[in-house]
Structure 1
Amino acid sequence: MSIASIIRERRSIKKGYKPDPVPEELVLELLNDAVYAPNHGLREPWRFLFVSSEKKADFIERMMPAFAADQQEKRRGLFSEPSAFLIVIMNEDPRQKQWEEDFCATSALIQNFQLLAWEKDLGVVWKTNPHNLDPKARQILGVQPGEKIVGFLHLGFFDRAEAPQAAPRTPAEQKFSRFE
């Protein structure tokens, strides 16, 4: 399969995960390729917190106090969908240029991970929900001052035949201009 095909075919898999556990070894294999994302000065500003399928129930219960009481059942349901989670955390450099370079590099790493996972029929959706910024959630997850949660990656195997259809994309020509 060509890179262009994988880019065009990849979808965010938000539900319909199979009950199969996501092996830590597979996540590490994908990450070891994903870390080849371009990153200025090879700062490698990222770290990863993996919530295995076996630890998911404990994770959900520990996360519940981060949500208002009237939101906990909804959040419990949403967290119960995927088989596992990969939380991507980056160092926040106080210098704006470096912060932006690091955020872009971490985002490129996440995209690499999603493409690599697609090839293995591992569904991924990249979530940037408000709890990523919540001090209670950050404490539960061990996120330190000077670190940013770039995303919760929801993981689970899926049936490719049931993957969502592609949404139309605007042709690049419609957003393209030339410097004159």
Structure 2
Amino acid sequence: MVLTKRSTALQQVIRERRSVKKHYNDKPVAEATVKRLLEDAVWAPTHGVRQPWRFIFIGPDQAETFAGKVAATYPEERQQNRFEYLREPTAFLVVVMDEPESQKQWDENFGATACMIQNFWLLAWEQQLGVVWKTNSHIYNQEVKDILNVGENEKIVGFLHLGYFDEKPAKKDRTSAADKFTTFQG
């Protein structure tokens, strides 16, 4: 898509959004802010309006304790590194998805949840709240699932690391859609 001289606000936020992985400032991430953003984010497309997600918020007052618990699930030689890594965000939003037995419904649930996460990310960006979607190995760890009370038929889709920032991360160019586009010739 080629931007015209007058791009829309939506085009701009899509293109300006960045993954904010570190260098968060001290401004706390309020639970009320996250809930407000989620109220709009959940309007993502979802097959059968299943809305297969739920959320676990870890606020600034619990983030360090949470980081310690998750880091403790790693081998001892990696625990300090993982603790330091998990101390970087101001808060976390853990996104959990229902895992149905049907592969088709599983795929639909994952697609819907990914769309919802993108909605949340774009809405957060508009508020200068930095987000990065992390899928580190601990999201697959049963001990972490137990810490978060994730059920047997649920999947942690990711940890969204949250925090306000003073400086935008650098832009990374994208390959043009035209370079990846073909037309079926039956």
CA drift at 1:65:
2.4
**SS class of match (1:123):** strand
User: Match for residue 172 of structure 1?
Assistant: 177
Q: Which stretch of the first structure deviates more once superposed, 115-124 or 140-149?
A: 140-149
Distance 2:78 2:145 in 1: 18
- Residue equivalent to 1:42: 49
Letter of the structure 1 residue corresponding to residue 124 of structure 2:
A
Matches within 5 A, 1:80-159: 80-159=87-166
Distance across 1 between alignment mates of 2:28 and 2:178: 43
Tell me, yes or no, if the aligned pair for 2:70 and 2:138 is still in contact at 8 Å.
Answer: no
Moved over 2 A (4+): none
The residue number in structure 1 matching 2:64 is: 57
RMSD: 0.9
In structure 2, C-alpha distance between the alignment counterparts of 1:61 and 1:77, rounded to whole Å = 9
Q: Taking every aligned residue pair, what percent have the same amino acid on both sides?
A: 49
TM-score by length of 1: 0.96
Query: Which residue of structure 2 lines up, in the alignment, with residue 72 of structure 1?
Result: 79
Partner deviation per Cα, 1:26-66 (whole Å, 9 max, x = no partner): 00000000000000100010000000001112212222321
Rounded to whole Å, the distance in 2 between the matches of 1:17 and 1:165 is: 15
Q: 1:55 corresponds to which letter in structure 2?
A: Q
Counterpart of 2:9 in structure 1 is: 2
TM-score (normalised: structure 2): 0.93
Aligned residue pairs: how many? Answer: 178
User: What is the rounded CA distance, in whole Å, between the counterparts of 2:24 and 2:64 in structure 1?
Assistant: 16
* SS at structure 1 position matched to 2:72: helix
